[in-house]
Amino acid sequence: MNRWLLPEDIADVLPAEARKVESLRRAVLDLYQSYGYELVAPPILEFLDSLLTGTGSDLNLQTFKLVDQLSGRTLGLRADMTPQVARIDAHLLNRAGVTRLCYAGSVAHARTPVGSSAREELQLGAEIYGCSTWEADLEAITLLLKTLSVAGLEKVYIDLSHAGILAGILDGQNLNKETVEALYGLLQSKDRSRLTQWATCLPTNIAKALITLTELNGPCAEVLANAKKDLPKHAAIDQALLDLERLVSAAAKLSGNLELSIDLADLRGYQYHSGVMFAAYVDQLPQPIARGGRYDHVGQAFGRPRPATGFSLDLLTLASLSPLSIRKLAIIAPWTEDVELSKTIATLRGQGEVVIQVPAGTTLEAAEYECDRELVKQGNSWEVKKK
């Protein structure tokens, strides 16, 4: 076996792309800082029971597991940073008011996620804790749009849903976790025939409401009107539709390049979402480039219930889609022992210029840099000249 082969769907990030990723990471984190978000860096390994607290079985299946030789307990290699950030808010920070946290770090998946070609991602995200109102959801969507704009992606499509609607429909049914997850899969795929068969054990009005969910997708105004007319009357459902209505009205004003839609059967991540859910799409990618929403129950699983909302995306995917050029202009200089040359190079680098020294008779091969100038000796001094 070749020693340089990597595991399936694991890849190196080469110089030009790595620079683009890092440039975007810095720009986006600076954007988050301007909104008051504080950067956290959770460990890549945790005890498994802590890492999976409050999450669904999907994350369990995606988590690499190993045994800690010091404690003998099972460790997990994180597949999602959101539960870790919720743990930090609940236990380490322990604040009473609104807390804004952001993060950027590697996550690994035991299996290649559907629609992806990589098992390792550089997850970037922002979360708001301690605010239960819809304005926090709007801020999360606003920040997501600005994140995509920083990367040069202006045309964005956001699909909204709400976990409270399914919770309202199933209220009082006492379904176990495995049954709910099977239902979630049927709704996600919109398999009406299998869903109809599956729902025969439920009261007729509930079965009808579940089928109705699969049909409630499309333009926001139309979906909301039909949902109010066709879904059962329930406090949780009414509140969910009101949340969506207010959010759609406010989000529509954020950008002329934003298209909003609603799909009430899109419940991906339902296992730990508790309110508004959203997925962002761009033209260059068939699957969502980012997902987010409200997940108040995760903090409760850590023993301290806190309202929470936010989003995350893969920075590697974002960089691959970004049309922004990352090549940096540079100055070529000879690689010789010359005191004046060394002083000139140090001055230029101190001014923020990239100066690359190249031995005589060789050429520079660097995908990151475009060398448009060179240092040339003029009498006793060195001058920068256009190539």
pLDDT at 92: 87
Phi, psi of 189 (to 5 degrees): -85, -10
pLDDT > 90 in the chain, percent: 68
pLDDT at 150: 96
**What per-residue confidence (pLDDT) applies to 94?**
85
Residue 55's pLDDT band (cuts 50, 70, 90): low
Domain spans of the chain, in order of start: 15-321, 328-386
Task: Inform me whether the pLDDT recorded for 230 exceeds 90.
Answer: yes
- Statement: residue 95 has pLDDT above 70: yes
- Mean of the per-residue pLDDT values of the chain: 91
At residue 303, what are phi and psi to the nearest 5 degrees? Answer: 90, 5
| Statement: residue 272 has pLDDT above 80 | no
Mean pLDDT value across residues 362-369: 86
Cα–chain center distance at 196: 34
Q: Flag whether pLDDT at 10 surpasses 70.
A: yes
Give the pLDDT mean for 316-342: 92
Beta bridge partners of 129: 99, 308
Q: What is the dihedral of CA 185, 189, 192, 197, to 10 degrees?
A: -30
C-alpha atoms less than 13 angstroms from C-alpha of 121 in its C-beta half-sphere: 27
Specify which of 13-22, 106-115, 338-347 reaches the highest per-range mean pLDDT: 338-347
| pLDDT of residue 111 exceeding 70 | yes
149-196 confidence digits (pLDDT tens)? 999 999 999 999 999 999 899 898 888 877 887 888 888 888 899 999
Give residue 269's pLDDT band: very low, low, confident or very high (50, 70, 90): low
Of 130, 183, 140, 169, nearest to 312 (Cα)? 140
Q: Which of 179-188, 283-292, 337-346, 374-383 has the lowest mean pLDDT?
A: 179-188
Closest Cα to residue 23, out of 328, 378, 359, 384?
Answer: 328
Residue 179: what pLDDT? 82
* Residue 365: pLDDT over 90: no
Quick: pLDDT tens for 136-145.
999 999 999 9
Whether 231 has a pLDDT exceeding 60, the answer reads yes
Quickly state the pLDDT bin for 49 (edges 50, 70, 90). confident
Give the mean model confidence (pLDDT) for residues 73-101: 91
Q: Which residue has the higher pLDDT, 181 or 100?
A: 100
Q: How far is CA 327 from the centre of its chain?
A: 26
16 or 330: which carries more pLDDT confidence? 330
Segment of 292-306, 341-355, 368-382 carrying the highest mean pLDDT: 341-355
Read off the pTM. 0.89
pLDDT for res 270: 56
Assigned CATH topology for domain 15-321 = BirA Bifunctional Protein; domain 2 (3.30.930)
CB proximity list for 55: less than 8 A, separation 6 or greater: 80, 83, 271, 272, 298
pLDDT of residue 361: 83
Say if residue 326's pLDDT is above 80: no
Query: What pLDDT, on a 0 to 100 scale, did the predictor assign at position 221?
Result: 96
If one compares 264 and 327, the residue with the highest pLDDT of the two is 264
For range 121-125, the mean pLDDT: 96
Q: What is the pLDDT of residues 244-259, one digit of tens each?
A: 999 999 999 999 999 9
Interatomic CA distance for residues 23 and 19, integer angstroms: 6
